[in-house]
A = this chain, B = another copy of it.
């Protein structure tokens, strides 16, 4: 199932196919991130928006609307809404995580200050609600405001679950929905809703985005223990930050008394010494926690593929199915 690397990546082909729509979205983003009165706002936002993220979330909205044959003017508003919500959460995440880098550049909280990151994030949240209100579609408003609540709830949950070895897989899934999947599923679902598609298709679009987001995040968490040169990830960051991600939750569930003592020392007490990361990796392998996590990522990618199968066939559907394979290609 691994992709031929001579082909461009599916999200790049999606971006090429949706280039006209995406140009409109980018124009809308630039227009709405401006502020007549406070020049600090576009400075901070431009730093982040123009850092060249993949724009995956707005692409999902545009692809979903196109797949559903939407002919109206509001898919670009919804795509910009989704990107604004994403950018606002990044600004606030960097304050919460005390991050110094994002997408290879210094973070806004480092370049300006935490104050600017908090307030400009709030401004983008407000702008996103203005944008979605312009669509005049109340169901879309419900979906996106529910997603915003799930995102914030998941972030708080992640905060309180850190360093807590009693974190269950169910809590982990809730955190992952908040961090990633809630905005993915809202991004795809609203495309079907504004196109007025039947309920089964709207549900299939939600299921696709939800499963894609979960697969995406599980792969990210897995690579934190499994990475290497090819993945561009730095092994052991989550371990050092004592985050309870799926590999660790699975290994702790299978641990004997001695292993539990080890995990309590390094994760709960934060007493980490030379060789501990290697010992942790040995334990993850001994209990098959990495392989089980990998299987879970593959199974969510398969759910995404299946959900897409319930939608009208065509080029857009094929690309979205490819995308669900692509997100797990780094561990497949």
Contact = CB atoms under 8 A, between A and B. Distances in A.
A126 B141 contact: no
Interface string A7-24: 000000000000000000
B130 A142 contact: yes
A130 to B, nearest CB: 5
A136 interface: yes
Given A95-B114, A114-B114, A146-B130, A119 B38 contact: no
Contact of A123 (B39, B136, B149, B171): B149
A45 B148 CA distance: 17
Nearest to A139: B133
In this complex, the interface size class of chain A, counting residues with CB under 8 Å from chain B, is: 35 or more
Nearest to A160: B40
Interface string A110-130: 000011101111110111011
Interface stretch (A50-58, A150-158, A252-260): A150-158
Contacts of A119: 92, 96, 152, 155-156, 159
A95 B92 CA distance: 12
Contact of A148 (B120, B125, B171): B125
A235 B162 CA distance: 43
